Amino acid sequence: MNINGMPKKASSSVPKWQYSSSVTTKMLNNLNPICQATQQLTLKGKFVITHNHSKSIPGKLISVQIYSGTEVDPETGKGKLSEKACFKQCESMKHSHDAQTMIYKIKIHIDSHFGTPRAFLIQNKHKKKFFLQSASIETNDHIIHFDCNSWIYPIKKTKSDRLFFSNRCCLPSHTPRALVELRKEELDRLRGNGMGERKEWDRIYDYDCYNDLGDPDKGPEHLRPVLGGSRLFPYPRRGRTGRKHSTAGPSCESRPQPMNFDIYVPSDERFGPNKLKELKSNCVHAMVHFLSPKAEFLPRRISADFHSFEELLDMFSSNRNQTIEGWMRDNLKKLIPVEHLKEINHAMKENHGQLPIPQIISENEWAWKDDMEFGRQMIAGTHPTRIQCLTTFPPQNKFGIQSSIKQSIIEQRLEGWTLSQAMEHGRIFMLDHHDYLIPYLNRINANGVCAYASRTLLFLRSDGMLKPLTIELSLPGQYPHLEIHRVFLPAKQGTQAALWQLAKAHVLANDVVYHQLISHWLYTHAVIEPFIIATKRRLSVMHPIHRLLNPHFKDTMHINALARLILINSGGIFERILFPGEICMQISCDLYKEWRFKEQGLPADLLKRSMAVKDSDINNPTGIQLLLLDYPYATDGLEIWVVIKEWVKDFCSFFYKDNEAIEGDVELQAWWSEIRTNGHGDKHNDTWWYQLTTLSNLVEALTTLIWIASAKHASLNYGQHAYNGYPPNRPTLCRKFVPLEGRVEFGEFLKDPDKFFLGMLPNRFEMSLAVALVDVLSRHTSDEVYLGCQQSPGWIDNEVIQNRFAEFKQEIKEIQSRIMQRNRDLKLKNRRGPANIEYTLLYPDTSSSASTSGITGRGIPNSISI
């Protein structure tokens, strides 16, 4: 029998035995074939490794052992294990940045009854880590693939070899007997014991609250509440690091140095060899360019203003300094380890071309002031998920306090419609930033900013565009639940037009805060992390659902850890640039209370916002009908949602033949239970969670996860440079209220409305920091993997699934073509708008590669990777 259990071929095709002794050979020839267990076969292996070392790793320092997936060792109860073999040959494959990719070959001797290889152990005796991309083992009749994409740390640190399973998937009940114990042991290893501080090389997944955002060791002003684990501050869980608690605040975890980028995530979740360096380079490049020498690192809200729009536009000039010199070098030394400065400076010298101009001003530097562009961005900008169709007039808060917007002033602008007619036909829309902000405004406005809560009403014109009708800005009244309202109306010129522009700026500041804190950070980054942790703890890498989801979790835990380090922490970037300041994350907690997983899929979200109605037509796979037909985010998104869902349904149907198989899958049920009770533990009693007992519920849950991680995140993130990159279009805070007639400020406003407007926007430092941030966030990195693509062509050892995935990729490509066709349709005015920015934020870009990294304004990565 050969290693696949097939009848042994003629002797001419049998591999040469690996024995040198003639006595042994003679003895073997005289043995009965059944007893020839000592006969040996040779397997060939190929391992693709990437590292950042100046020299290749000596092969003798890396060893491999192979597990049989079909033959059990009676002594261990596990698959037979081969002897160790070391890497032999080595050839260079490619260089990328400072990383070198090598292919190592190996020969492994096994006995003729070894069976089919289905797992291997690898040991690294080198003093440094390396990144194992993939492996393959060649048998007589086929090649067995292993997708690894993991850091392999020195054995002196890990104390154990690293186990990898092949790309063949199976449900727990179908696990080959040779792999049952290995499967169980690996999951136990990944769960750990919940004790101790995690080290860089650990591969342990566990949950913790957000108790690492404050830094009380710096002073009481840096104390922040623990998010998660309480009724007052509910929140999704993050990955546990186990760092020691702060001495000044016992409930807070101590914090590492911010710009060292050194924070624990399980080693399999760490960026690949090039990405961290690329991200660091992008960060410093943006900081050096946008943080003008005049800005310096001054305290919040003290540095100088921009005095003209021309001066503001100079931020994007290519003549600005492109090297780390003078005051900037001194300040960067406080933020970044000295050893990184030289490599970053070198990278910057190689990349000092013209920075891309934000698209909002690339053709017309005043397009951002256009009212129709203001409305269009609510359905085709970087935050198209907040607008809703108004179903009740006047709007009111949860205490029954009604808006001060009057029907009479609206009907004057409805182009012949009455308000009731327009609402009946779904033509009145609202951007609502009122209820969640009102309780916090007194605290916020005591810190040197000027913020309102806002409601903006819009009318759907016959050409499909949204015309702003009115803006209501509100402040808390003297008594609880009472409010002070101001209503503003559109105007084309004069004082009223200038006041309207100020009111729009306050609305946009509200929208930026909700976009960054809620839609982007909370509803994509934060809510996905518990699903990742549960997947790694409860679903074996052999599980088909693990295999399906894993590409959509790439780099997310690492980018979230960095966000906790420099973005959402006390004194972090969000607190510096967003008007809620130190209560940013408390607002995020409040809005997590409203989060429902069932409402995160696109059709459900559109129904919740009354942007669509249910459609029972069996020929409509979305199950809904849009009220606003030219809604680029929804139109493109629904096509993507449908093909994801069909792909997921076919995938799941292949492995689960009936609902009983789903209900009886012990790993799947443990996974779903842990997500609800641990990962989103503050919502474990909520009744809206899917019961994971049917194929339809499983498909809906998985489609929702993939949608959030891929298309939804892409639509919210990669347009930031185009729209947020020019601060007057989307300011992060306002420093003045809209002036009241009769006050001194009103006189200043009348004297020079543009100067007043610029003085109301963030100061030079805050504005520059915000632009630097969106410059970094909007860039695709060179190792991005896009929707419809996989890191490896052999990502799953199943021809039926591979063929179906190829169909999925083709469907994605066809969507790309239809998106571009819609963008060329002049009747669809929201596809471009007054600023002439075509809507490509949901253009999947399956042709993307390393050559298309950077700011592209398109492309749907598989995962939340930035």
Cα–Cα distance between 76 and 228 in angstroms, integer?
Answer: 43
Q: Taking the CA of residue 98 as centre, how many other CA atoms within 13 Å lie in the half-sphere pointing to its CB? A: 13
Q: Helix/strand/coil (H, E, C) string of 403-438?
A: CCCCHHHHHCCCCCCCHHHHHHCCCEEEEEECCCCH
| DSSP 8-state code for residue 622 | T
Within a 10 A sphere around the Cβ of 851, how many other Cβ atoms? 8
520 given a catalytic annotation: yes
User: Roughly how many angstroms between the first and final C-alpha of the chain, as a whole number?
Assistant: 51
Cα–Cα distance between 608 and 602 in angstroms, integer?
Answer: 10
Phi and psi at 132, nearest 5°, equal -90, 110
Contact 612, 606 (CB under 8 A): yes
Q: Which of 434, 552, 558, 713 is flagged as catalytic? A: 713
Within a 10 A sphere around the Cβ of 76, how many other Cβ atoms? 12
- Residue-wise burial string across 512-543, b where 16 or more C-beta atoms lie within 10 A, e elsewhere: bbbbbbbbbbbbbbbbbbbbbbbbbbbbbbbb
Q: Which of 126, 383, 520, 721 is flagged as catalytic? A: 520
Angle between helices 177-191 and 527-538 (to 10 degrees): 140
Query: Which helix (H) or strand (E) segment is 162 a member of?
Result: strand 162-165
289 given a catalytic annotation: no
Q: Which of 525, 546, 558, 680 is flagged as catalytic? A: 525
Amino acid (one-letter) located at 614: K
Residues 6 or more apart in contact with residue 116 via CB below 8 angstroms: 3, 4, 5, 68, 69, 70, 139, 144
Do the bridges between strand 79-81 and strand 62-72 make them parallel or antiparallel, or are there none, so unpaired?
antiparallel
Contact 137, 43 (CB under 8 A): yes
Query: What is Dmax (Cα atoms) for the chain?
Result: 112
Tokens of residue 324, six digits? 């780390």
Residues 6 or more apart in contact with residue 283 via CB below 8 angstroms: 772, 776
| DSSP 8-state code for residue 462 | T
Q: Which of 353, 311, 345 is nearest to 326 (CA)?
A: 345
Q: Which of 550, 717, 729, 763 is flagged as catalytic? A: 717
Total count of residues recorded for the chain: 866
721 given a catalytic annotation: no
285 given a catalytic annotation: no
Residue for token pair 């009886």: 664
Within a 10 A sphere around the Cβ of 343, how many other Cβ atoms? 14
Q: Which of 764, 617, 850, 864 is nearest to 301 (CA)?
A: 764
763 given a catalytic annotation: no
DSSP bridge partners of 144: 137
- By annotation, the residues acting in catalysis are 520, 525, 713, 717, 866
